[in-house]
Amino acid sequence: MAKTSFSVPQPQPLLAWYGRFKRDLPWRSHNGRAPSPYHTWLSEIMLQQTTVATVIPYYIRFTTRWPTVEALAQAHEDDVLKEWAGLGYYSRARNLLACARTVVADHDGIFPSDIATLKTLPGIGEYTANAIRAIAFDLPASVMDGNVERVLTRIFAIEDPINLPVNKSHLRVIASHLAPDTQCGDYAQALMELGATVCTPKNPRCTQCPWQNVCKAFSLGKTASIPVIQRKTKTPHRHAIALVIRDKTGRFLLRQRPSKGLLGGLWEPFGTAWTDEAAQFPASLQNKIEDFIRQTPDVVHVFSHFKLTTIVYRADASFDAEQALADGLIDGTWFSPDDLPALSRLSEKIIERAIQGEDAL
C-alpha cells in the first residue's frame, strides 16, 4: 500500500489567509496604526478565559478611559475593579493595575520586549509574555493558547490528551519549530484566528482551511475525535447564605472581601462563608430569622473550579439593622444604590435577586 506523506505546515498559506479573512477587532489597530504594547497587553489580559465578543466593550471602555499605560497607572483600584466587573477573575484586574504601575515606575512607561523581563511583571505569565513579544514587537515567540493547541493536535493527528501538562510541553516544542522568524505577530495571530474561526472545537470548516493539504486529522477522518481531552472529576459544589440588608433610605449594607483570594477586594452583602456542606443561617442572627424573607430561586454561580449555590434572604422592614450593627451581630458599610463600590458579578446577582423580591410585593 502506498504511504501517505505529509509536509510540514508552512507560514505563507496561513499568512495569506489571515490577510484576507482576519476579523476586524479593536485591538488589532489603533487609528490606522499597529497597536502599542499597552494595547496588546491589555487585550491579552482581558481575553484570558473570556470570549472576544465579551471583551470588546470592556476593551473600548478601558482604552477610552485610560488611553495609555501612564493613565492606567494613576487609576484608583476601585475604579479599575468597577470597570472590570463582569469579566471575572478579579485578581487579573488588580494585577493589571500593579503591572501598569510597575511599567511606569521601573521601565519609564515602556513595556520590555524580552520574555524574562516581561515575566517579572505582575500578571504576565508564559503565554502573555510570548503574545506581547510576538504581536507588539514582531519578535520570534511561540504563542500557545487553546486554539493553537487544537490546530496543532489536528495538523499532526496527536491523540495524547491535550490537557495533560506533559503533552502541552510537547506541543510548545512543535510550535516553536514551526514559528517563522519574520512576520511573527501576524503569524501568531493567524494561528490563533484559524483555531477561533475555522478549526473550531466542533465541525471545523476544513474546506476553508489554508492548511488542509498538510492536516493529518483531516486526511485520516479524525477531526471529530482530535483533540482528545481527559475528563476531569466532577466539579465541586459549595454553598452559602447571603443577607441583603437595606436601611430606611434604601442604602445597602456591604462588606469588603479580604484583598487576597477569590474575588479579593470586592464588596458583597453580609453572609456566611462558602462551605462544602449545606449552609446554615448565620449563628449571630438565629433569633432574628423571622425578620428575613427567603428569595427564590437560589443564585447559582459557576467559578472555574467549583459551583456555588447561594441562598438569598432579604431583610424585612422589621429588622433593626442599626441595632444589629451596634450589637456586633452584623458588619459592613452603608452604600447608596447610586454609588455602589466594586461588586463581583456574584454579588450583583444576589442583590438583583433581593430587589426582584421587593418588586414582587
Exactly one of 45, 179, 217, 245 binds ligand SF4 (CB under 6 A); that residue is 217
Nearby residues of 192 by Cβ (< 8 Å), 6 or more positions away: 143, 145, 147, 148
* Contact with ligand SF4 (CB under 6 A) among 91, 197, 212, 284: 212
C-alpha 247/C-alpha 264 separation (Å) is 26
Q: Is 324 in the site for ligand SF4 (CB under 6 A)?
A: no
Residue 228 contacts ligand SF4 per CB under 6 A: no
Q: How many residues does the chain have?
A: 361
For position 271 contacting ligand SF4 by CB under 6 A, the verdict is no
Closest CA to 246 of 351, 356, 359, 346: 351
Q: How far is the CB of 3 from ligand SF4 (least distance, A)?
A: 20
- The answer to the question of residue 155 lying near ligand SF4 (CB under 6 A) is yes
Strands 292-302 and 252-256: unpaired
At residue 193, what is the residue type? E
Helical residues (DSSP H) of the chain, grouped into ranges: 11-21, 37-47, 52-65, 69-73, 77-84, 90-107, 115-118, 126-131, 137, 146-155, 165-178, 184-197, 216-220, 321-326, 345-359
Identity of the residue, 47 or 155, whose beta carbon is nearer to ligand SF4 in the bound complex: 155
> Of the listed pieces 31-39, 56-64, 129-137, 150-158, which binds ligand SF4 according to CB under 6 A?
150-158
Q: Is 191 in the site for ligand SF4 (CB under 6 A)?
A: no
Peptide bond into 57 cis (omega under 30): no
Q: Which residue has the cell 454609588?
A: 339
Residue 246's φ and ψ, nearest 5 degrees, are -125, 150
Q: What's the CA gap between 126 and 128, in Å, rounded? A: 6
Decide: is 219 part of the binding site for ligand SF4 (CB under 6 A): no
The residue from 189, 223, 295, 310 that contacts ligand SF4 (CB under 6 A) is 223
Candidate ranges 81-89, 104-112, 213-221, 249-257; the one touching ligand SF4 (CB under 6 A): 213-221
Nearest in space to 155 (alpha carbons), one of 230, 219, 229: 219
Strand partners, 295: 312
Span near ligand SF4 by CB under 6 A; candidates 61-69, 76-84, 151-159, 316-324: 151-159
Catalytic residue among 44, 149, 193, 268: 44
Asked if residue 198 binds ligand SF4 (CB under 6 A), the reply is yes
Q: With CB under 6 A as the contact rule, which of the stretches 64-72, 74-82, 197-205, 338-346 interacts with ligand SF4? A: 197-205
Active-site residue flag, 44 = yes
Options 84, 211, 252, 267; binder of ligand SF4; rule CB under 6 A: 211
The answer to whether 148 contacts ligand SF4 (rule: CB under 6 A) is: no
Q: Which of 39, 133, 154, 353 binds ligand SF4 (CB under 6 A)?
A: 154
Q: What DSSP string runs through 138-164?
A: --------HHHHHHHHHHTT--S-TTS
Q: Which is closer to ligand SF4, CB of 103 or CB of 215?
A: 215
Residue 192 sits in the site that holds ligand SF4 (CB under 6 A): no
When the beta carbons of 212 and 309 are compared against ligand SF4, the nearer one is: 212
What is the C-alpha to C-alpha distance for residues 104 and 279, in angstroms, rounded to an integer? Answer: 45
Tell me which residues are annotated as active site: 44
> Where on the chain is the footprint of ligand SF4 (CB under 6 A)?
151, 154-155, 198-199, 204, 206, 209, 211-212, 215, 217-218, 223
